[in-house]
Amino acid sequence: MTDQLDLDDIPRGGPQGFVKYFKHDLTSGLLVFLLALPLCLGISVMSGYPPIAGIFTAIIGAILTTFISNSELTIKGPAAGLIVIAIGCVEDFGGNGVTGGWVDADMTAYKAALAVGAAAAIIQILFGLFRGGILGEFFPISVVHGMLAAIGFIIIIKQIPVALGVTAVGEPLEMLREIPHYVAEANPAIAAIGIVSILIMFSWPLAGNRVSILKKIPSPMIVLLVTIPMGLGFDLLHPHSYTLQGHEYQLGERFLVKMPDRMFGMFDDITTPDFAVLTQLKAWKWVTMFFIIGSLESLLSAKAIDLLDPWKRKTNMNRDVLAVGVGNLCTSMVGGLPMISEIVRSKANIDNGARTRFADLWHGIFLLACVALIPNILHEIPLAALAGMLVYTGYRLAHPTEFIHAYQIGKEQLAVFVTTLIVVLATDLLIGVAAGIALKIIIHIGNGVPVKSLFKPCIEVQEVDEKTRLILARESIVFCNWISFRNQIEKIGLSQNRNMIIDVSETKFVDHSVMKKLQEMQRDFEQEGLTFEVRGFESLQPLAANAHAAHKRGLAGMRRLTIVADEDLEQWLEEQIVGFGATGFTSLPCRGIGRSELEQGVASTNSKVRIEVVIPQFVCEDVVTFLRTEVLPQHRVTACVESVEVIRRDQFEVLSSEEHS
């Protein structure tokens, strides 16, 4: 934060907050507007909607939801995560958006998608009214990340032809195979714009790391500042052809964003839904997908922004779902895309110093003014530039570190992550998510989770003192019974202002999703001035070295290292072993004769020391390397390693400072 602010003076988005934090919120709103404008256009085009639809969504999301949700820092608007559903819905009703030009079939499909969005919005409103915001607590983290990574891959695959100036449709895996063909058929002028856009999007963050002032300038705005002059240089406003190396290529307005041709012309593009399509069964498939995926993404984004909020304000998730639902209903009635609480723009909002929800309001007002007053300038934006931005957005969703992180948490998490990703690519989002959840449940059963405890936790509540309650968990705590478990924690703890102790020592399995959610619950209790303690993990074994890995009852595999050496080496060897990370050792005096002594005919035994230590495998490898390189070349020492199993792994591990925190 650049300005000093008393943390006890928590900013709130009421009338006083509007005046008090006007400067901060207005500045952030302007900067977020610069980021949101090209992204709203790009997401809308990619979704098969007219470009103006994304602007409608952002304006309504900013102006309307500001007064319904209590989320102070989230930005509501169209999101890349819903692109796959939106374009899938449009294509299922016979359209393909701006690909190949806007025709009657595209308009029919667009109106059908608006009806689907309105129906999903009504369900969101009902969920908000009937406290359905807890929906986001059900889905396993690895499934959600796998779904988002798949969406990222689909965005990249679908945008590559647009960035190259090639018309292409088809399923993601089919289009993936055709990428070499798209490259061969690329329109050089359009491809130049697309490639430059991609290079700017990937290189600008690196430049910002070296020159801090550049971080304040959104990379999409730099793309526009570079590519709009490129488009004018190629004269994309007028249809014409050019020849390069014997090939003739066409240029014209179809490679530019379609926008109203006069001031306030945006109101001429208001489009209403065709509710007749809701009589078709396939419409409800898309209603379900819009509702589930849209609500889930919005809830996860709102929770993530709460964690980043400098004042740790907590969003009422039911109220936020209600706000998004009302916003989606309104935007569907005028021709807009579905909206969510969008994570990238919300994070930028925090970084820009926003204080209250009025920053979201200001970003919407700037969008409204821009589109109403200067639509001709927006018309000069090349579609390839928007495609380049979305390629980068897709890359961030499917970043290689997502795979590495899943593997570090556990091989089973990587399996769920990859399964969800592949099935989404091969089928659709709902089937992919269902496949990931099904695999997760199968893995849980394989790890000994009783079927009876999959959806209903087995718990016992005990009174510790007047202010503290203990919940003793048995059987398992996993993603599919977490909602019931959480409700008990909130009912007994937060609702009654009591401290909580969660004892998991009697459980058979605690999964990765629950590990993360228990940490989130701890923060919730701390915000209320209460304590939240989890006990008993020492009796469970982690499935990976990561602090958030799933934990399972059972014996932990360790290594027992036995060293026999001369007595005068005892203290030095013990100090070295402890230095490598051993938590203890056993030393016993002994007598014996080595091979070389037997070969020399020595009959009497010598005084020796026998040192035994139980250590993790990685520590054992370090000690063995030390023995080979530093000890054996100079001393007569024997050593052997055995695999053993221990009841409590924590007794033999030295925790790093990161794990302690």
The 10s digit of each residue's pLDDT in 539-582 is: 888 888 888 899 998 877 789 999 999 889 999 999 999 999 89
**555-652: CATH class:** alpha beta
Rounded CA separation 392/400 (Å): 13
Q: Which residues make Cβ contacts (< 8 Å) with residue 252, sequence separation at least 6?
A: 236, 238, 239, 240
CATH topology agreement for domains 451-552 and 555-652: no
Whose tokens are 């709102």? That residue is 302
Distance between alpha carbon 261 and the CA centroid of its chain, in Å? 39
* pLDDT exceeds 60 at position 8: no
Q: Could you give the 3-state DSSP secondary structure of residue 561?
A: strand
What is the mean predicted confidence (pLDDT) over 65-82? Answer: 93
Whose tokens are 């798209």? That residue is 182
**What are the angstrom distances between the C-alpha of 112 and each of 90, 109, 224, 287, 430?**
8, 5, 32, 11, 20
What is the tens place of the pLDDT at every residue in 121-166?
Answer: 999 999 999 888 787 788 899 999 999 999 999 999 999 999 999 9
Query: What would the two tokens of residue 535 be?
Result: 């006990």
**How many Cβ atoms from other residues are within 10 Å of residue 250's Cβ?**
14
Rounded CA separation 558/236 (Å): 67
**How many Cβ atoms from other residues are within 10 Å of residue 547's Cβ?**
15
- Burial state string for 316-353 with b = 16 or more CB within 10 A and e = fewer than 16: bbbbbbbbbbbbbbbbbbbbbbbbbbbbbbbbbbbebb
What is the tens place of the pLDDT at every residue in 421-447?
Answer: 999 999 888 899 999 999 999 999 999
**Contact of 567 with 607, CB cutoff 8 Å:** yes
**How many Cβ atoms from other residues are within 10 Å of residue 151's Cβ?**
28
Model confidence at 656, pLDDT cuts 50, 70, 90, reads very low
pLDDT for the residue numbered 144: 92
Higher pLDDT among residues 13 and 361, named by residue: 361
What is the mean predicted confidence (pLDDT) over 8-32? Answer: 89
Higher pLDDT among residues 96 and 362, named by residue: 362
Model confidence at 661, pLDDT cuts 50, 70, 90, reads very low
pLDDT for the residue numbered 660: 34
Cite the DSSP H helix spans in 314-470. 317-334, 343-351, 358-373, 375-378, 383-397, 400-409, 411-426, 429-446
Rounded CA separation 290/304 (Å): 21
Strand partners, 565: 609
pLDDT for the residue numbered 604: 74
Model confidence at 303, pLDDT cuts 50, 70, 90, reads confident
pLDDT for the residue numbered 658: 37
* pLDDT exceeds 80 at position 24: yes
**451-552: CATH class:** alpha beta
Residue type, 488: Q
Model confidence at 256, pLDDT cuts 50, 70, 90, reads very high
What is the mean predicted confidence (pLDDT) over 302-315? Answer: 87
pLDDT for the residue numbered 1: 40
Q: Which residues make Cβ contacts (< 8 Å) with residue 529, sequence separation at least 6?
A: none
Whose tokens are 């990685």? That residue is 618
pLDDT for the residue numbered 603: 67
Residue 19: exposure state from Cβ atoms within 10 A (0-12, 13-18, ≥19): exposed
* pLDDT exceeds 90 at position 56: yes
**How many Cβ atoms from other residues are within 10 Å of residue 98's Cβ?**
20
pLDDT for the residue numbered 101: 74
**How many Cβ atoms from other residues are within 10 Å of residue 229's Cβ?**
11
What is the rounded average pLDDT for all residues in the chain?
90
Rounded CA separation 393/149 (Å): 11
Q: Which residues make Cβ contacts (< 8 Å) with residue 550, sequence separation at least 6?
A: 409, 410, 412, 413, 447, 509, 510, 511, 512, 515, 542, 543, 544
Dihedral of CA atoms 448, 450, 451, 453 in degrees, nearest 10, equals -130
Domain ranges of the chain: 15-397, 401-446, 451-552, 555-652
What is the mean predicted confidence (pLDDT) over 272-288? Answer: 96
**DSSP letter (8 states) at residue 251:** E
Percent above pLDDT 70 for the chain: 97
Phi, psi (deg, nearest 5) at residue 251: -130, 155
